[in-house]
Amino acid sequence: MVARVQPDRKQLPLVLLRLLCLLPTGLPVRSVDFNRGTDNITVRQGDTAILRCVVEDKNSKVAWLNRSGIIFAGHDKWSLDPRVELEKRHSLEYSLRIQKVDVYDEGSYTCSVQTQHEPKTSQVYLIVQVPPKISNISSDVTVNEGSNVTLVCMANGRPEPVITWRHLTPTGREFEGEEEYLEILGITREQSGKYECKAANEVSSADVKQVKVTVNYPPTITESKSNEATTGRKASLKCEASAVPAPDFEWYRDDTRINSANGLEIKSTEGQSSLTVTNVTEEHYGNYTCVAANNLGVTNASLVLFTPHDRRAPEMLSHLEGPQVQNEVMKPASGSKNKGKEEKRTRTNHRCVFITLK
């Protein structure tokens, strides 16, 4: 079989006329659509497009062509595309069927019919719509509180998708607009969490992806519970702190660090710690300090284990002064990735009140 060579675009009208003249002669005809301008047909990517062409006589000489060349001349197929075929539901129809339409199929198509004097043409413009698809989105990111954050979400589609950002919280705020970039200036711990990017157009359902933003911040004591205890009984002091990364806890008494030994048990989980005295004696009464720390800062709180007979303890505990915040500049250890850079570290001191119990 000899392969057909497509003619140059400028020569198409002449070649087409010659081809039509070689077809069996019929009566002069005209297409029912020839007096109209170019029609548009819109098809979604992957669907089948049918470009209609109807003539008035079954012996008409008809051909289809597009910007690339001749597709059909009569019933003779010139295109090598297996997706393209003729649609003939009746003898006067000469429609073109394109299966699994893609974006490169978009453009002008011409149905040409030979009349007595010259070819008459009917044109249709195929528009291919593409569902929205997110092509690029920021990776999950971890930053320190107060930093500026830029999230990126890019999407493809026809028509061009509208990008919408939303912070996934119970009262999630939406950031609407046709912008691929979401800028958060001076981010706070409340702005941590997942951010959803939605790309939408009218072709199909939206494409949705998420980015997780983690905000690091120094520890803050959220709860510290002093306790009264009877000798011979079990008693606990509890301390909770909020921080990212999660804080490490230490317990002190009179500036001496306490370990789990000699009837004392320390249990720490993410965000909370407890000091338990398994068998309270007179020497266990007094002031204790809970220290919470991560790589961004240190904070502490004073707690008191007191006897039920001491009526002054609750009153004195209510007068504990609030935290005092100090800033330290921490230099990274040798071998650190941040060597040569200084790191700001926050220290929060709670004033300790020592109670003498008799």
Provide the 8-state DSSP code for 159: S
Residue 128 forms beta bridges with which residues? 43
pLDDT at 310: 67
Exposure letters 324-333 (e unless 16+ CB within 10 A, then b):
eeeeeeeeee
Report the alpha-carbon distance of residue 138 to residue 120 in Å, rounded: 54
Contact 340, 333 (CB under 8 A): no
- Cβ burial of 288 (10 Å; 0-12, 13-18, 19+) is buried
Going from the C-alpha of 154 to that of each of 132, 141, 142, 208, 248, the distances in angstroms are: 10, 17, 21, 11, 40
Backbone angles phi, psi at 329, to 5 degrees: -105, 115
Q: What is the pLDDT of residues 145-163, one digit of tens each?
A: 999 999 999 999 999 999 9
Pairing of strands 149-158, 181-184: antiparallel
Closest-CA residue to 194 (of 221, 175, 212): 212
Would you tell me how many other CB atoms lie within 10 Å of the CB of residue 308? Answer: 10
Report the alpha-carbon distance of residue 29 to residue 222 in Å, rounded: 89
pLDDT at 61: 84
pLDDT at 175: 67
Return the C-alpha torsion angle 295, 330, 349, 270, nearest 10.
Answer: 10
> Residue 277 contacts by C-beta under 8 Å, 6 or more apart in sequence?
229, 234, 235, 236, 263, 264, 284, 305
Question: What is the fold, at CATH topology level, of the domain defined by 9-129?
Answer: Immunoglobulin-like (2.60.40)
- Residue 104 φ/ψ region, left for φ over 0, alpha for ψ in the -120 to 50 degree band, beta for the rest: alpha
pLDDT at 38: 65
The segments of the chain whose pLDDT lies below 70 read 1-38, 59, 115-118, 171-172, 175-178, 310-358
Contact 258, 334 (CB under 8 A): no
Helices vs strands, H then E, count in the chain: 2, 26
Closest-CA residue to 95 (of 122, 68, 135): 122
> Residue 174 contacts by C-beta under 8 Å, 6 or more apart in sequence?
164, 165, 166
Pairing of strands 39-44, 323-330: unpaired
pLDDT at 150: 95
pLDDT at 356: 31
pLDDT at 27: 30
Backbone angles phi, psi at 195, to 5 degrees: -115, 130
- Which residue type occupies 67? R
Report the alpha-carbon distance of residue 23 to residue 7 in Å, rounded: 19
pLDDT at 114: 80
In words, the CATH class of domain 226-350 is mainly beta
The Cα diameter of the chain in Å comes to: 125
Domain with CATH 2.60.40.10 in the chain: 9-129, 138-217, 226-350
Residue 76 has which token pair? 């003779």
Report the alpha-carbon distance of residue 316 to residue 190 in Å, rounded: 34
The CATH homologous superfamily to which domain 138-217 belongs is Immunoglobulins (2.60.40.10)
Backbone angles phi, psi at 10, to 5 degrees: -65, -25
